[in-house]
C-alpha cells in the first residue's frame, strides 16, 4: 500500500471539521437566560445551556466572555475549560435524528 497517497478515513463529524472546514466563528452568552449561542462558518447556530457544564455554570459574565476559539473548539483560560466542536456537532446530529417528526 502506498502510504503517501493514503487518505485518512474520517467519520462524518471529523470530515466536517477537518475536510469541510466547519469552525466556530463567534460565541454569545446570556447567563440570566442560561443560553450559549455558537455561530459556525457554515451559517448554522448551535444553542446550548450554559448550566450544562459545571465550570461555565459557576463562571462570572467576565469569565464567560474571556474565551478563545481554535480549529477544534472553544477554550476559557480563566476557567481552564475546553469544549470541543466535535461534541457540539455530535449532539446536533443526535438531536436531529431523534427529534419527533411533525405530520
> Would you say residue 8 lies in a domain?
no
Q: Is residue 86 part of a domain?
A: yes
In the chain, the number of structural domains is 1
How far apart, in whole angstroms, are the C-alpha atoms of residue 9 and residue 19?
Answer: 11
The model carries a pTM of 0.82
DSSP state of 99: S
Q: Is residue 10 part of a domain?
A: no
Q: Do 22 and 89 contact (CB within 8 A), yes or no?
A: yes
Residue 9 lies in a domain: no
**43 Cβ neighbours under 8 A, 6+ residues apart:** none
Cell readout for 77 is 483560560
User: Residue 14: inside a domain, yes or no?
Assistant: no
Q: List the pLDDT tens digit at each of the 103 positions of the chain.
A: 444 444 556 688 999 999 999 999 999 999 999 999 999 999 999 999 999 999 999 999 999 999 999 999 999 999 999 999 999 999 998 888 886 777 6
Residue with cell 449561542: 37
23: domain range?
19-98
77: CATH: 3.30.2020.40
Amino acid at each position: 500500500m502506498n502510504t503517501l497517497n493514503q487518505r485518512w478515513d474520517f467519520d462524518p463529524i471529523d470530515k466536517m471539521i477537518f475536510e469541510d472546514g466547519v469552525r466556530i466563528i463567534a460565541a454569545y452568552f446570556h447567563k440570566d437566560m442560561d443560553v450559549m449561542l455558537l455561530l459556525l462558518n457554515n451559517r448554522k447556530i448551535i444553542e446550548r445551556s450554559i448550566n450544562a457544564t459545571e465550570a461555565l455554570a459557576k463562571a462570572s459574565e467576565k469569565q464567560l466572555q474571556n474565551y478563545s476559539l481554535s480549529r477544534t473548539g472553544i477554550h476559557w483560560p480563566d476557567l481552564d475549560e475546553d469544549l470541543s466542536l466535535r461534541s457540539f456537532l455530535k449532539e446536533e446530529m443526535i438531536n436531529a435524528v431523534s427529534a419527533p417528526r411533525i405530520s
